[in-house]
C-alpha cells in the first residue's frame, strides 16, 4: 500500500515539475521581474490584455470575379481571331455585372461556329446562350462564382497572414468572420504603428506590366476626347505618379491594354535596393521562369513601343522597349523612401491581394488598458482563490488542506498547458480560469459530502473514502464532459476573446479531473496510511 502511494506521489511531483517548467522554462534570474518576464514570454497575451489593433475587413470579391472575366474576355477574343471569325467583339457591357460577358457583332455565317467555340471551351464555367442582334451571352455559373469568391477570401487571408508574419506581429488572429459575408477578422496584439500596419494590410500590391496604346494626356477629360469619347472594352485609363515618364509631368493619363503582360502572381522575389547611377532607393523585382519567358517573347516582338509598369492601378513608370527583357525590373523615382522600398518589397514578396479590402471596423486597445485588465484579472483570481481556500479550510477542516493543494496544482497545470500549447490568454480567458477554480471546488464538495454521508452511515474512514470517490466520479465526469462540449462549441463558432475563454475553461476542466480525483485521492490515502485502523479523519 505504502509503495503504491509513494509511486503515485512521485507521479504527482513529476507532473508538477513538468508544468512549472511550461510556465517559466528557464528564467533569467529568480527575482520577481525575471519570473514575470519568463511567464510573459511563455504565456501569450491576447489583444485585450496586450493592446493592439482589432479590424473587420471586407474583401471586395466582385473585383476578383471581374479580374477573372477580364481574362476570359481576352481569351475569347483570341479564340475568335484564331478561328478566323472577324468582326465580333467581346465585352462586359454592364459594369455592375462582373460575371456577364457579351459577344456581339457575330457574322451570320459564323453563328454556329461561335456557338460551338463557346460551348466547347467555356460552358464548364459559363451558361452560354443566344442574345439579341447576332450576339451571344456568357453568364458565370453560380457554383463557379461562389467558388471564385471563396478562393479570393482564402487567398486574402493567406496574404494578410504572410504580411503580418513579416512585420513580426506575435500571435495574430486572422480568420473568416460571419459566414458568407466574405469578411476577415484581424487581431494584432502589441502593434504600435497602426497607420503603417493598416496601409500594408489594405495595399493590394498588384504589380503589372501593360502595353501603352495612348497618351500621355494632362487630364482624364482630355484623354477621353483624344480617343473619341469612348474607351474600348479592352483598354483602361490610368493616371501616373510623379516622374513616371521622361516628361516629368505630374499626374499624366495613359491608355493601356486592360489585360497585363504579366501580373502580381508572376513575381518570384522583390528586394529593396539603390539605383546604381543616382543612388536613390528602388525596388528590384524578379519574375518567375514562365512569366520571364512570356515577357521576353512579348518585349522582343514589341521593340520601339511603350510599356507601363502599374502598381495598384497607378502608372509607376513608362519606358520605350529598346530590347528584349526577361525576368528582372525595378521601381524607382517619385520620391520613394527607404521605408517605402522595404514595405513594397515585402508586399510584393507576400503576393498580391486578389481584390481590394475595405476596413469595416477598426478598434485599438492601448497597452495601459491591457495592463489594467491584467492587474484587475489577476487580483480577481487571487481574491477568488484565497476566499475559496479559506472557506474549504473552515468548512472541511483537515480535508480542506487536501482541496487547497488540489486547487493550487490545478492552476499550475492550467498555466503550464497555456505555456506549452502557445494558446493566447485573453480577458475572458482569465474569467475561464476563475470559473475553473469554482468547478474544482464543486468537484471536491461532491467528493467530501459523499464521504461524510458514508461516515454517517457507520462505515470506516477507509471505506467511506473509497465509496465517496467511487460514487462522485460519475457525476464529476458528467458535469465536466458537458461543460467541455459547450466550450468546444464556443471555440468553433466564437471569435478571439470568446475562444480564449473556451481554451482556458477546457484546459482547466481537464486539469481538474486529474487533481480532484487522482491527486485528492492520493492525499487521502497517504493520510489514512498514517492512521490506526478505524481512526477518524478530519472532514
pLDDT band at 100 (very low <50, low <70, confident <90, very high): very high
Contact 275, 333 (CB under 8 A): no
Query: Residue range 40-66: average pLDDT?
Result: 85
pLDDT band at 534 (very low <50, low <70, confident <90, very high): low
pLDDT band at 363 (very low <50, low <70, confident <90, very high): confident
Residues 456-473 pLDDT 10s = 988 888 899 899 898 888
Query: Residue range 68-82: average pLDDT?
Result: 89
pLDDT at 285: 87
Beta strands in 299-447 (DSSP E): 306-311, 314-320, 328-332, 357-365, 424-425
**Which range has the worst mean pLDDT, 419-433, 466-480, 508-522?**
419-433
Query: Residue range 301-308: average pLDDT?
Result: 92
Beta strands in 169-228 (DSSP E): 173-177, 183-189, 207-217
191 contacts: CB under 8 Å, gap ≥ 6: 52, 53, 169, 197
pLDDT band at 101 (very low <50, low <70, confident <90, very high): very high
What's the grid cell of residue 404? 487547497
What's the grid cell of residue 201? 494590410
Q: Give me the percent of the chain exceeding a pLDDT of 70.
A: 95
SS3 360: strand
CA dihedral 374, 380, 385, 386 (to 10 degrees): 110
Highest mean pLDDT among 97-106, 258-267, 416-425: 97-106
pLDDT band at 485 (very low <50, low <70, confident <90, very high): very high
In 274-366, alpha helices (H) = 289-301, 338-350
225 contacts: CB under 8 Å, gap ≥ 6: none
d(CA 502, CA 508): 10
CA dihedral 35, 36, 40, 45 (to 10 degrees): 150
What's the grid cell of residue 371? 495592463
What length is written for the chain?
Answer: 539
pLDDT at 373: 72
pTM above 0.75, yes or no: no
d(CA 178, CA 58): 11
Amino acid at each position: 500500500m505504502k509503495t503504491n502511494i509513494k509511486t503515485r506521489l512521485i507521479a504527482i511531483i513529476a507532473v508538477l515539475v513538468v508544468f512549472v517548467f511550461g510556465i517559466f522554462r528557464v528564467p533569467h534570474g529568480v527575482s520577481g521581474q525575471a519570473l514575470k518576464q519568463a511567464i510573459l514570454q511563455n504565456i501569450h497575451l491576447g489583444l485585450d490584455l496586450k493592446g493592439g489593433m482589432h479590424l473587420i475587413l471586407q474583401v471586395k470579391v466582385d473585383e476578383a470575379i471581374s479580374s477573372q472575366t477580364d481574362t476570359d474576355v481576352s481569351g475569347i477574343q483570341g479564340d475568335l481571331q484564331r478561328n478566323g471569325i472577324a468582326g465580333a467583339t467581346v465585352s462586359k457591357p454592364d459594369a455592375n455585372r462582373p460575371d456577364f460577358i457579351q459577344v456581339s457583332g457575330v457574322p451570320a455565317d459564323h453563328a454556329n461556329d461561335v456557338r460551338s467555340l463557346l460551348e466547347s471551351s467555356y460552358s464548364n464555367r459559363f451558361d452560354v446562350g443566344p442574345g439579341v442582334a447576332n450576339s451571344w451571352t456568357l453568364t458565370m455559373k453560380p457554383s463557379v462564382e461562389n467558388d471564385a469568391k471563396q478562393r479570393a477570401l482564402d487567398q486574402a487571408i493567406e496574404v494578410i497572414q504572410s504580411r503580418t508574419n513579416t512585420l513580426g506581429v506575435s500571435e495574430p488572429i486572422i480568420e473568416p468572420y460571419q459566414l458568407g459575408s466574405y469578411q476577415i477578422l484581424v487581431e494584432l496584439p502589441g502593434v504600435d504603428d497602426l497607420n503603417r500596419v493598416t496601409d500594408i494590410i489594405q495595399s493590394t500590391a498588384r504589380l503589372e506590366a501593360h502595353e501603352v496604346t495612348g497618351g500621355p494626356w494632362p487630364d482624364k477629360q482630355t484623354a477621353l476626347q483624344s480617343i473619341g469619347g469612348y474607351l474600348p472594352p479592352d483598354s483602361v485609363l490610368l493616371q501616373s505618379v510623379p516622374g513616371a515618364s521622361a516628361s516629368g509631368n505630374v499626374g499624366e493619363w495613359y491608355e493601356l491594354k486592360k489585360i497585363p503582360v504579366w501580373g502580381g502572381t508572376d513575381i518570384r522575389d522583390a528586394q529593396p535596393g539603390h539605383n546604381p547611377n543616382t543612388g536613390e532607393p528602388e525596388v528590384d523585382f524578379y519574375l518567375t521562369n514562365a512569366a520571364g519567358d512570356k515577357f521576353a517573347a512579348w518585349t522582343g516582338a514589341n521593340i520601339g513601343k511603350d510599356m507601363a509598369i502599374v502598381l495598384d492601378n497607378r502608372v509607376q513608370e513608362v519606358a520605350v522597349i529598346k530590347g528584349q527583357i526577361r525576368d528582372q525590373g525595378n521601381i524607382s523615382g517619385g520620391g520613394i523612401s527607404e521605408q517605402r522600398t522595404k514595405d513594397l518589397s515585402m508586399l510584393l514578396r507576400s503576393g498580391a491581394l486578389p481584390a481590394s479590402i475595405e476596413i469595416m471596423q477598426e478598434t485599438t486597445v492601448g497597452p495601459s488598458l491591457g495592463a489594467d485588465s491584467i492587474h484587475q484579472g489577476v487580483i480577481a483570481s487571487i481574491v477568488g482563490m484565497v476566499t475559496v481556500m479559506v472557506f474549504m479550510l473552515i468548512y472541511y477542516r483537515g480535508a480542506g488542506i487536501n482541496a487547497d493543494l488540489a486547487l493550487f496544482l490545478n492552476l499550475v497545470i492550467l498555466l503550464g498547458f497555456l505555456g506549452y500549447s502557445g494558446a493566447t490568454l485573453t480577458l475572458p480567458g482569465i474569467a475561464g480560469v476563475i470559473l475553473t477554480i469554482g468547478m474544482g471546488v464543486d468537484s471536491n464538495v461532491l467528493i467530501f459530502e459523499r464521504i461524510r454521508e458514508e461516515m454517517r452511515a457507520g462505515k470506516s474512514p477507509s471505506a467511506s473514502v473509497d465509496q465517496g470517490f467511487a460514487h462522485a466520479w460519475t457525476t464529476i465526469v458528467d458535469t465536466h464532459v458537458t461543460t467541455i462540449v459547450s466550450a468546444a462549441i464556443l471555440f468553433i463558432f466564437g471569435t478571439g476573446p470568446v475562444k480564449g475563454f473556451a481554451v482556458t475553461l477546457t484546459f482547466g476542466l481537464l486539469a481538474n479531473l486529474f487533481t480532484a480525483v487522482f491527486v485528492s485521492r492520493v492525499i487521502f490515502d497517504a493520510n489514512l496510511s498514517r492512521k490506526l485502523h478505524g481512526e477518524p479523519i478530519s472532514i
